[in-house]
Structure 1
Amino acid sequence: MKKRSVEQIDYCRDEVCGHCPGSVWGAKSICRVHQRSIGEIEECPQWEITVKETRAIYYARDPDKHPARTEQMEQIERELKDYPWMLREIERLRGMLEEAGVGLTGVYGLDGVMPKGKGTHANSVHREAQRREKHWTRLKQLEATVARIDAAAERLVDDRQRTILECIMEGERMNRIAQHIGVSRQRLHELKLELVRRLAEDIFGVGRQGAS
């Protein structure tokens, strides 16, 4: 059997264990079948049930809980997953540009460093200027994404949703977050979907009356 990735294991714990009668979700998060914490389980025969089949059974029992996912929600989920990495990458890019003598507090312009002559040295300077420009553009894109998420987080009024969001932004695993706020993984999954939906509405205007 092919070894599962960390993301696949987390997904199975969420989507399969959360509906399995052998699981006792909550503060202990214990599986009665394996007699250990669900966070310690790396493989289970029950995981061979596909996520799609599990969801179909779950939502057949309670159709009102079926989430209408949108492209904007998918984007928000990706950005939240990447948030800790984006912070590290921003710091890395800033350090590279500062070491190269680019003032981050000023206005960056490629014209100021472009070579005026020809030859090997001029070509080398030109390539370096292009490389810095690419780093600068990427830095600005990452900073804009992080700032957008930070601003939306500040506008959340629900304390529990804000706690969930901050834990995700800090890179906490879902089982740790569930234990922290005192809910089951299944309930946390529902809360996360609602959180992502609210962020999509806030950032992209999805679901707002009159939104384009």
Structure 2
Amino acid sequence: MEKKEIEKTLKDYHWMLNSIKVMRESLNDTSQNVISQYGIEASLPKGTGKNADPVFGDVIRRQKYWKRIQKYERKIKTIQDRIHLIKDDREMEVLNWILEGKSYAWIARHMGFSERHIRRIRDAIIDKMIEKPDKPSATEKSVS
């Protein structure tokens, strides 16, 4: 991931996590809000070129949820896989508040720093997350 992508994902982390939760709950919702037609409306012809089944339409709409969920999960997983790279206590504190969705101004007030200093700490966090995590080679694993 590039610097801008990590920066945006950090900023969006909180709402993406909440959206995944809501979309999953919606997908697991078994209640149907479909209104059947009775009387003369039921016998009228349906529009052409479209499936008139409201349940089918809802299934199509919900399939799009899966794609968004997977996209958000990939981004969130990228951040989670790199959290271990942050060793400094200040950086970890700032990172946790960013992931909780707090503003830089809120974090600055909370920690007693200037907002500019919080942004510098955020930049340091991003720089560390850009670095590729060191993975032990197969020979190192067998030696250990």
TM-score category, normalised to shorter length: 0.5 to 0.7
CA distance in 1 between partners of 2:56 and 2:92 (Å): 46
Paired residue for 1:129? 59
Paired residue for 1:169? 99
Candidates 85, 96, 101, aligned match of 1:155 = 85
Query: How far is the alpha carbon of 1:202 from its aligned partner?
Result: 4.0
The answer on whether the counterparts of 2:85 and 2:128 sit within 8 Å (CA) in structure 1 is: no
Structure number with higher relative contact order (C-alpha < 8 Å, ≥ 6 residues apart): 2
CA distance in 2 between partners of 1:99 and 1:168 (Å): 31
| Residues 120/186 of structure 1: CA separation in 2 closer, same or farther (3 Å cut) | closer
1:91-102 correspondence to structure 2 within 5 Å: 91-100=21-30
CA distance in 1 between partners of 2:89 and 2:98 (Å): 14
Paired residue for 1:141? 71
Candidates 82, 102, 126, aligned match of 1:196 = 126
Paired residue for 1:83? 13
Runs of 4+ deviating beyond 6 Å: none
Identity %: 29
Structure 1 unaligned blocks of 5 or more? 1-70, 102-118, 204-212
Query: How far is the alpha carbon of 1:100 from its aligned partner?
Result: 4.2
Query: How far is the alpha carbon of 1:126 from its aligned partner?
Result: 4.2
CA distance in 2 between partners of 1:126 and 1:185 (Å): 50
TM-score w.r.t. length of structure 1: 0.47
Query: How far is the alpha carbon of 1:132 from its aligned partner?
Result: 2.5
CA distance in 1 between partners of 2:74 and 2:56 (Å): 27
Letter in 2 for 1:190: R
1:1-212 correspondence to structure 2 within 5 Å: 72-100=2-30, 124-202=54-132
The answer on whether the counterparts of 2:6 and 2:126 sit within 8 Å (CA) in structure 1 is: yes
- What does the per-residue CA deviation read over 1:104-123, in whole Å, with 9 as the maximum and x for residues that have no partner? xxxxxxxxxxxxxxx956x5
| Residues 149/83 of structure 1: CA separation in 2 closer, same or farther (3 Å cut) | same
| DSSP 3-state at the match of 1:183 | coil
| Residues 194/125 of structure 1: CA separation in 2 closer, same or farther (3 Å cut) | same
Query: Aligned-residue CA RMSD in angstroms?
Result: 2.5
CA distance in 2 between partners of 1:120 and 1:82 (Å): 36
